[in-house]
Amino acid sequence: MEYQNADIARIAQELRQKLADVPDKRTVLRDPALKSLYEQIKTLPSEERGAFGKAVNRLKEELEDEIASLQASSTSLPPIDITAPWDDNTPANKRPGFLPTTQGSLHPLTQEIEKICDIYQRMGFVVEESREIDDDYHMFASLNFPEGHPARDDYDTFMTDEGLVAPAHTSTMQNRVMQKYAKNLDNNAPIAVVIPGRVFRNEDVDATHEHTFYQVEGVYVDKGITVGNLVAVLKAYMSEFFGEDLHVKIQPFYFPFTEPSFEFAIERPEILRKNNSEEQKWLELGGCGMIHPNVLKEAGLDPTVYTGFAWGFGVERMVMMKNGIEDIRHFQSGNLKFLRQF
């Protein structure tokens, strides 16, 4: 195709050459020379614009047709550029490299999970990691959820096509840690484990609910353990974490894996309340209770000899209360204004 205008004719020539040379033909359509022709349109006297614009469009169509026919006839796909942009440090493309590590910091949740684990370790607990993909047995059956039991529906879990589960709570680890540390009991030492982990729920997201969040699970088993021990341990932990004695409240609840079961709430500082209602006064942190005999049995422990308690608390909510954060969504927002405060 011939172009009357000298600029267009020259650039057409250049781009045809590029089309022959470059492996990824479509990059030619983004070539700065083509772009410069489009930019030139608005600088022209109005009587020349129409013809010039049409010619530039024709050139673009010519290139598109050529690319389509080249691609139709080629059997190999254009290569994909897998280098990160900052790998190209030729002077023309000089971009800032990685930020020096002195400028980064740990995410507030990571910092707090480290502090939480540190408190529990000083109280004699060991820390085990949770996992982010699990199976139905650890999510339900090992925790005394019978097959088809409606309590399974309380956990709106995500499942893969293969039937694996994105855990909706860290309680999935209870059976494993009880088996792993059962030998403590033979040596007259308790099973005392905490398990931080990320959990996933099909939640409607709002200021206090996220679909992905963190929990810290705790399991304590020995001879003669009672609800009194449960309350004492959790209160001691809370006052260490918050640096003050907070009002806490436990009230009866239902979990298949504990009997009795409780909901554990702490008093919201006034500054974080929307109004003076009783509901706004308390923030539920999670559940706790005496480990159900069936759960002990399933882990190979004799419930006529041993008793224990367990709990699972949401980390974000504890951190929100400690730092006066009003919206849980800040944590995953990537908002640097928020993150830099920690």
Binding site for ligand DAH (CB under 6 A): 169, 171, 217, 255, 257-258, 261, 286-289, 310-312
Q: How far is the CB of 223 from ligand DAH (least distance, A)?
A: 19
- Residue 301 burial (CB count, 10 A): 20
Nearest residue to the partner ligand DAH, using Cβ: 287
Burial of 14: CB neighbours in 10 Å, binned 0-12, 13-18, 19+: middle
Of 112 and 170, nearer to ligand DAH (C-beta) is 170
Give alpha helix (H) positions in 243-326.
278-281, 293-298, 315-323
Q: How far is the CB of 245 from ligand DAH (least distance, A)?
A: 23
- Tell me phi and psi for residue 102, to 5 degrees: -65, -15
Token duo for residue 239: 């006052």
139 φ/ψ sector (left φ>0, alpha ψ -120 to 50, else beta): alpha
Of 3 and 262, nearer to ligand DAH (C-beta) is 262
Q: How far is the CB of 258 from ligand DAH (least distance, A)?
A: 4
Q: How far is the CB of 259 from ligand DAH (least distance, A)?
A: 10
Q: How far is the CB of 171 from ligand DAH (least distance, A)?
A: 4
Work out whether the CA dihedral 37, 41, 44, 49 comes out positive or negative.
positive
Of 19 and 170, nearer to ligand DAH (C-beta) is 170
Q: How far is the CB of 119 from ligand DAH (least distance, A)?
A: 17
Of 25 and 138, nearer to ligand DAH (C-beta) is 138
Q: How far is the CB of 335 from ligand DAH (least distance, A)?
A: 27
Token duo for residue 188: 């007259």
Of 54 and 249, nearer to ligand DAH (C-beta) is 249
124 φ/ψ sector (left φ>0, alpha ψ -120 to 50, else beta): left
Q: How far is the CB of 312 from ligand DAH (least distance, A)?
A: 3
Token duo for residue 155: 């956990």
Q: Using CA atoms, how far apart are residues 6 and 192, in angstroms rounded to an integer?
A: 82
Q: Which of 118, 221, 134 is nearest to 173 (CA)?
A: 134
Q: Using CA atoms, how far apart are residues 46 and 169, in angstroms rounded to an integer?
A: 68
Of 3 and 309, nearer to ligand DAH (C-beta) is 309
Query: CA-CA distances (angstroms) from residue 205 to 212, 332, 333?
Result: 10, 12, 13
Token duo for residue 185: 């009991």
Of 108 and 167, nearer to ligand DAH (C-beta) is 167
Of 3 and 255, nearer to ligand DAH (C-beta) is 255
